[in-house]
Structure formats: C-alpha cells, structure tokens
Chain A
Amino acid sequence: MSISSYSERPGAGIDKTEGLSVPWSRPRPKRAGVSARAVSAVTILAVLAAWALSARLQLVSPVFLPSPAAVWSKFLSVAQNGFVDATLLQHVTASLARVFAALVAAILVGVPVGLAIGISTVGRGIFDPLLEFLRPIPPLAYLPLIIIWFGIGEPSKILVIAIAMLAPVALSTAAGVRGVSKERISAARSLGATRIQLVRHVILPSALPSILTGLRIALGAGWSTLVAAELVAATRGLGFMIQSAAQFLVTDVVVMGILVIAIIAFGLEFIIRRIERRLVPWAGRE
C-alpha cells in the first residue's frame, strides 16, 4: 500500500521514532517527558501569543490582522446572529452537505473505477490516463467549464468537489486491489470462489484499508476545494461567507472562517481515523 501509512495509528503498535532504522536512535527510554504533543501545544500557544501581542501593540492595523479577542467575539456573534443572511451553523451545514454529497458521488464512481483498474488490464487502460489527466488540474481551472455545462446551481458545486475527490478514491482503491496477496486469492479460488465471489469476499475486504485511506485523502481534497466551489452564486457556505466578508474587508470574519474550516478539517480527519480503527482493526497487524 503506497499511499497509506498505518504506522501513525496507535493501534498499529509501531512507534514513529522506533520506525527509524538508525540504530542509535532506538534505545531511547523515557527522557524526562518531552513529548511531541507537548511541543505542539507550546507552539500553538506561542503563535496565539504572538498574534495577541502584535494586535495589542497595534503593530498591524486591525483591518489586516484583527485581535484574537475580536475574532472570538465575531465567532459568537456570527454563531448567534449570522452573517450575510445565515448563521454560522447554516454556513457550516451547507458546506458539509456539499462535501458529503460529493463524497458519496466520488465513492459510487471511484470505487468501481478503482476496482476496474486494479482487476483488469482493459480497465486500467481505459481509466488510468483519464485519472492521470484529471488529477493535477486545479479545481479553479475546470470550474468555469462546469458552470458552462451545468449552470450555477447546487449540482455544479457538488460536481467540482466530487471531481477533486475522484482520483484519490479511485487510485487508492486500485492500489488496494493490486496489493491483495496472491496466496490469499489462490486460497480463495482453491476453496471454490467464483470470479464474482472473489471480488466480493476477498478483494474488496482486502482493499478496504486502502479505500478508507483514499476517503481520508479525498475528504481533505474536497474540503480544500470548497472555497472554489462556493465562489459562484452561493448564498450559504463557509467559502461564501469568507468571500463575502473579504469584499467588505470584514477581516475578523475572514480569519474566523479560516479557523472554522481548519477545525472542521481536523475533526473530519479524526472521525475517519476512528472509523478506520473500527472497520479495519486488522490493518497493520497481519
């Protein structure tokens, strides 16, 4: 499995530092409690402090950099009273709904396409070049074409996000399918599995860890396409909220929106890792 890295999972039992093959980095018994997590926490606090300090000393005009307190109070006021005709929750819901609709579409198309690539030479011949063509194009580049084709409604927005998600889902599925051990397939065939049973009972479950990794990457890709998708004729959504705020130089809403997007992305990542642990507890333990 090329894309995934299960060594990050606590359940995998492999510590990141232990994964290094440098011999002298190995015997490192607890050295007086400096954990990466603590360092990260300090870093975040330091950035927040620098931000607060520069705002307090008015090193930069609040139009460019509002204070943390201003952003926080804006968060509360947008959560209660809304901004551009919708509350924060409504913006978040609109964005999440688009991303999840796109995810469902990407799964429905991407998993079968990935299976075809992984299983058959013809499938690989057909879909590989198409995906390789699609994959590196930034969403902002194909957005205008999609609007010309499908108009400015909700389907266009979902489609833009879904296209961004398609390649990671399909390619991870294909990688998972190709990674199924030959012995496992031989064993299933010698136990009487037909071709369809092989796909259903052996190949798909074997590829599941890789598929889930693909979904995780796809959610990241889709979420970062959100702002582009909401550029055109949206009336709700986090991307729309940020753009509207930017037009009126309401910088505190812009910053607040960015933070909300980051926090939601973090939450999505967390949730899908939980799902991975529930659904494929064997990954990395075979």
Chain B
Amino acid sequence: MPQLVLDKISIHYDGQAAPAVERVSIDVAKGDLVVLVGRSGCGKTSLLNVAAGLVTPARGSASVNGQPITGPGSDRAVVFQNDALFPWLTARENVAFSLRLRGVRPAERARRADALLDLVKLGGAGGKHIWELSGGMRQRVGLARALAAEPEFLLLDEPLGALDALTRERMQTTLLDLWTASQAGLLMVTHGIEEALVLATRIVVLAPGPGRVVRTFEPNFSRRYASGEAIRTIKADPAFAAARGDLTDAIFEGEAA
C-alpha cells in the first residue's frame, strides 16, 4: 500500500525563536483524503511543504513509500492557492507541462491533456490563454496539470481559497470526482470548516504556538458522496451540522472567545 508518512515532524524556520511545528505525525494512504485545518500559524502549509519536499524539517522523517523525501517530485504534485500556471502557455500546454518535461511526443501530450481537461469539465478550453480564464477555470487547469504527472499523492494548499463561494462549492464536488477517479492519496490544507467535512476521510486539527495536532476526525461524508448520495442531501443531514459544531469547537479550543 503506497503511503506518505510524516513522522514526528518539527519545523524550525531560520531567525525564529520558537519552532513553527513540533512533533506532528500524519500519514496518508492511497485513497485517503486527509485535510489539515487550524487557526493561522498552526503550520498546516509548512507540513504540506514538507510532504512536497519544499521545506526540510528540523527533526523527524518524511517518506513516501518508504523512501525518504529529499526534494520535490512528480509523485507528489502540488496545487497552490494561486494557481501558479504558466501564462505563456495555453491551458492545454499547461496541463501537458509535466509530459513535455518527460519527453512525451506532442500529439500524445495533447491527447492526454485534452482528456484531463474533459475530466475537470474544461473540455474545449484547451486552446485558451490563461488570462482569458476565470479563477475557477484556472484552478481546474491547475488540478488537471497536477493530475497529468500521474502522482500517487496530490498535495493541495488551499486550492479553493481564492475562489468565490459559489465556484468554491462547485469545485468541491469536482475535487471529490477527481479523487474517486484517480484513487490518489490527497493531502489538503483549507480554512473552510464545511469544506473539510465535505471532502475529508480524515481531518487533522492543528493548533498554533507551536503547531501540533489537537484532534483527529474521521467523517464519512465524502464516502457517502462517492457512493452516490447528492451533496445537498449530505449537507442538510443533521449529522453534518453536528459534525460542523464539533469541528469548530476543536479548532477554537483553548482560544479565548
């Protein structure tokens, strides 16, 4: 079983007295959708960056399938809040970027990129320039670009954070569809409480000063969506409201009201 393991990770940034994160362990198996939530400064993005290989932890070990993580790699593609797309390339060329790096032939690249654009419901927009796309469309291109690398794990740093509420809601189901289709393990950082509940198979709640795990939830709403239940029915379920209350309490626990 492929696994992404963060084991007792501590992160210490240069020039800062206190560690940003202390002894946090998280593991993501294939098919998991692990969501990190917590107040600002709890180190969620830092942990994601450790998994991505963009930040080296001060202590602890990070590994993917038993191999220590020493740098970024296409087995762990990252999607950022600001899509970080390449504006000199069309949507299709952006999606095909990793294929081009690997030397895949142009015709094959275009075919696979178009298939992925179809998957994120952007079929037909392949020839468009990045600046012609809306925020939601750009984030879809970013997702398709990450999926093109055929990663075992997909790391998402507030991927829907910059979108308006309605687009965001629609993107949540897109994400779930992609997760079901790709069967990759997803590790995602978000500020959205409802978003965490809708998407996660496991929610890790972090608290700041220094960043540490305070609670873990294992909601089943995303599995219910995957087995065919409508997203609105799920959100209207009293169990969803109860879970939202619990999660909110856990996030703000220990903080003066």
* Shortest Cβ gap from B183 to chain A (Å): 19
The closest CB in chain B to the CB of A188 belongs to B97
Complex formed: what's the CA distance from A282 to B89 in Å?
Answer: 10
Complex formed: what's the CA distance from A20 to B175 in Å?
Answer: 41
Task: Find residues 142-194 in chain A having any chain B CB closer than 8 Å to their own CB.
Answer: 181, 183-184, 186-194
Set of chain B residues within 8 Å of A265, measured between Cβ atoms: none
Are A184 and B86 neighbours in the complex by a CB distance under 8 Å? yes
Are A187 and B78 neighbours in the complex by a CB distance under 8 Å? yes
* Shortest Cβ gap from B254 to chain A (Å): 32
The closest CB in chain B to the CB of A283 belongs to B87
Complex formed: what's the CA distance from A206 to B85 in Å?
Answer: 11
Q: Is the interface of A mostly helix, strand, loop or mixed?
A: helix
Are B84 and A183 neighbours in the complex by a CB distance under 8 Å? yes
Task: Pick the residue among B77, B88, B129 that contacts A205 (CB under 8 A).
Answer: B88
Complex formed: what's the CA distance from A23 to B98 in Å?
Answer: 46
Complex formed: what's the CA distance from A208 to B88 in Å?
Answer: 10
Task: Pick the residue among A183, A191, A197 that contacts B149 (CB under 8 A).
Answer: A191
B109 at the A interface (CB under 8 A): no
Are B73 and A192 neighbours in the complex by a CB distance under 8 Å? yes
The answer to whether residues A205 and B86 also contact, given A187-B78, A192-B98 and a CB cut-off of 8 A, is yes
Set of chain B residues within 8 Å of A184, measured between Cβ atoms: 84, 86
Are B54 and A186 neighbours in the complex by a CB distance under 8 Å? yes
Complex formed: what's the CA distance from A194 to B101 in Å?
Answer: 9
Task: Pick the residue among B76, B84, B102, B130 that contacts A187 (CB under 8 A).
Answer: B84
Set of chain A residues within 8 Å of B80, measured between Cβ atoms: 183, 186-187
Set of chain A residues within 8 Å of B127, measured between Cβ atoms: none
A123 at the B interface (CB under 8 A): no
Set of chain A residues within 8 Å of B74, measured between Cβ atoms: 190-192
**Top 5 closest A-B pairs, CB basis?**
A192-B74, A282-B87, A189-B72, A187-B84, A183-B84
Binding site for A on B (CB under 8 A): 52-54, 71-74, 76-78, 80, 82, 84, 86-88, 97-98, 100-102, 129-131, 142, 145-146, 149, 155
